[in-house]
Amino acid sequence: MATNTPDRARVRLTEISSRAYEHPADRGALVALRSLRGFDEVFKRLSGLFNERALRLMFLSGSVRVSERQFPEVYDYVRDAAYVLDLDEVPELYIQMDPRPNAMAIGSQRPFIVMTTGLFDLLDAEEQRFVVGHEVGHILSGHAVYRTMLLALIQLAARVAWIPLGYIGLRAIVAALEEWYRKSELSCDRAGVLASQNPDAAKRALMKIAGGSRLAEMNPDAFLEQAREYDRGGDARDSLIKLLSLMGTTHPFAVVRMAELHRWIEDGSYQRIINGDYPRRSTDRDASVSAEARSAANSYKESWERSADPLVGMVRDVAGSAASAGGKLFDTVAERWKNAGGRSGDSGQNGS
């Protein structure tokens, strides 16, 4: 396992595209959204449901904004993460008094980061670097923008709950967005490791989020065994309980995050990026929606093939055609879009 990485040894990942670290299901959704002409205008209309200015003022008035004079070490972590991931602007970060451990990146025009004291006090310096890098990854990917949309839709769903059909339709959209949200968390665990360049610290942070500050009582190998046991489950009843437990949640369970991050590091993906083998932002416009759809479907298929869950075994055969079907679907949409003249205004820019 890696040791703490000194500041001078961190590699700057110049012009890194967020596609380098995004989970295939996350990346496929983002590439599709970025390819839609007019999507930004639709989003602006939805953003009217979510007052970003009021939200920023709320944290400005009731939290502590980190700077050279307030939480200067955390400020350095934000600057370092923005430097390593080659972000154009260093985002603001606020420390909020809240015993519940949490951090988030929110906003659409100028995304900013919030970390609670519960999380700040739980983690050591290198683990804090991982969390800050995780949130900077959300900003680089544009997740903060789409998460703002999710919050707006949740608010809208609550307002129309008295209209059965309208509520059911919105809940279906929100459920799909929540699944994407969970995959975006897996993406940014990877971004956090790339920013901190300390895999051990990332694993420690995830263990602490699950079990608290008594790190000496925990063991990474045993925690990974928990993940395997959770994946295996028991019978179909356990599988159903696991599915139901995900309803309304936006974060994967800690053991799942640990297992996914460990797998990504062990298969060499992390080291390849550190060595300079990663897509650049200049190639984002060339990203194929249909190829990303196939990649997303394949990622689900591969995870199901690895799984020993009995319910997953029942539906595993369906995944065999999902990749090609997903690609064909997006190919058809792209062709119709082109015939309608949509191609001329294509915009594939990365959110940041």
Tell me the per-residue pLDDT of 95-117, one tens digit each, with 9 for 90 and over.
Answer: 999 999 999 998 877 889 999 99
Q: What are phi and psi of 94, to 5 degrees?
A: -115, 140
263 occurs within a structural domain: yes
325 occurs within a structural domain: no
Residue 286: the pLDDT is 80
Longest Cα separation, the chain: 62
Spatial contact of 126 and 196, defined as CB atoms under 8 Å apart: yes
Structural domain containing residue 264:
7-282
pLDDT tens string 255-274: 999 999 999 999 999 999 99
For residues 157 and 216, which has the higher predicted lDDT (pLDDT)? 216
Q: Helix, strand, or coil here: 310? A: helix
Tokens of 88: 């154009």
Residue 320: the pLDDT is 43
197 Cβ contact list (under 8 Å, min separation 6): 2, 5, 9, 10, 11, 84, 274
285 Cβ contact list (under 8 Å, min separation 6): 346, 348, 349
259 occurs within a structural domain: yes
351 occurs within a structural domain: no
pLDDT tens string 234-248: 666 766 777 777 777
Residue 36: the pLDDT is 53
114 occurs within a structural domain: yes
pTM: 0.76
94 Cβ contact list (under 8 Å, min separation 6): 59, 60, 63, 64, 65, 66, 112, 113, 114, 115
184 occurs within a structural domain: yes
Residue 234: the pLDDT is 66
pLDDT band at 130 (very low <50, low <70, confident <90, very high): very high
Answer yes or no: is pLDDT of 66 > 80. Answer: yes
DSSP-derived secondary structure letter, 64: E
pLDDT tens string 175-195: 767 777 888 999 999 999 999
Q: Identify the H or E element spanning 299.
A: helix 289-306
| Count of structural domains, the chain | 1
338 occurs within a structural domain: no
291 occurs within a structural domain: no
Q: Helix, strand, or coil here: 280? A: strand
Tell me how far apart the alpha carbons of residues 82 and 37 are, in angstroms, rounded to a whole number. 29
Tell me how far apart the alpha carbons of residues 177 and 153 are, in angstroms, rounded to a whole number. 10
Residue 142: the pLDDT is 83
Residue 53: the pLDDT is 79
Answer yes or no: is pLDDT of 285 > 60. Answer: yes
pLDDT tens string 5-55: 555 579 999 999 999 999 887 777 666 655 555 555 555 555 555 567 788
